Amino acid sequence: MSDLSDPRPEDEPALDWRDGGVPVSTRFNDPYFSLVGGLAETRHVFLDGNDLPARLVPGFHLAELGFGTGLNALALAQVAQVPIRMTSFEAYPMSTAQLAQAHAAFPELADLAFQLRKEWGRTQFQVGQVSLTLVLGDVRQKLPQWAGMADAWFLDGFSPAKNPQMWHPDLMAAVGRHTAVGGSFATYTAAGHVRRALSEAGFDVFRRPGFGRKRHMSVGRLRG
């Protein structure tokens, strides 16, 4: 797929909707975000975990594994006061209707979510101060070919047990190679094999209190 035209119905990711508004992937049997507060989880894990928005300067480059509903991108756009870039990798893009159903749970993001859905069909567009690029396809092929360098990463595949390809040591090594000096990552998981892979990829890895029922999460900075 070179551009993100709305997927045909048979190509949409199959979803169940839990607790009213949380999409759950049928393929991976896992929710796209926390069942106990998606936006609060994003702020705790991905924004605070990367010391954002404090580190944002014009041209700052955020990268993400797993665009999903775009919730992380919208939460970032909500706090970005300067022009920044974000590149997100996604193999199974949702349809506009699926996005709209997911976004309905976050009324405070409604204006930004509307901007995102209006542009859905392009792979490069603007949401607030965020210049967003979507890289479509399996990240295991796409990330090694990527020419960019990220200042911070949102590592947001489905859980390592259900989506192991998003946490494979080779992929974590590619994340490390595509991280700028002083760059960081944050992720909701504290799985030992993921933490080891990120350490081998060149990061100093730290455990932090997790969100909701998760006791721990992980953050890291690329070693100098």
Ligand X SMILES: C[S@@+](CC[C@H](N)C(=O)[O-])C[C@H]1O[C@@H](n2cnc3c(N)ncnc32)[C@H](O)[C@@H]1O
Residue 152 bridge partners (DSSP)? 62, 184
Secondary structure (3-state) at 32: coil
Omega cis (within 30) before 53: yes
Which x/- pattern, by CB under 6 A, does the window 39-68 give for ligand X?
---------------------------xxx
92 binds ligand X per the rule CB under 6 A = yes
Q: Please select the residue that binds ligand X; options are 128, 157, 202, 220, rule is CB under 6 A.
A: 157
96 binds ligand X per the rule CB under 6 A = no
Whose Cβ is closer to ligand X: residue 12's or residue 111's?
Answer: 12
Whose Cβ is closer to ligand X: residue 157's or residue 220's?
Answer: 157
163 binds ligand X per the rule CB under 6 A = yes
Work out how close the CB of 38 gets to ligand X at its nearest, in angstroms, rounded to a whole number.
Answer: 8
Q: Please select the residue that binds ligand X; options are 106, 158, 167, 203, rule is CB under 6 A.
A: 158
Secondary structure (3-state) at 95: coil
What residues between 136 and 155 interact with ligand X by CB under 6 A? 138-140
Two structure tokens written together for 94: 């949702």
Q: Is the Cβ–Cβ distance between 154 and 65 less than 8 Å?
A: yes
Two structure tokens written together for 216: 């721990």
Whose Cβ is closer to ligand X: residue 165's or residue 199's?
Answer: 165
Instruction: Give the phi and the psi of residue 132 in degrees, each rounded to 5.
Output: -100, 130
89 binds ligand X per the rule CB under 6 A = yes
Two structure tokens written together for 85: 């870039």
Secondary structure (3-state) at 177: helix
69 binds ligand X per the rule CB under 6 A = yes
Q: Is the Cβ–Cβ distance between 62 and 82 less than 8 Å?
A: no
Whose Cβ is closer to ligand X: residue 181's or residue 213's?
Answer: 213
The owner of tokens 């992980």 is 218
Residues at the interface with ligand X (CB under 6 A): 32-33, 66-72, 89-92, 138-140, 156-158, 163, 165-166
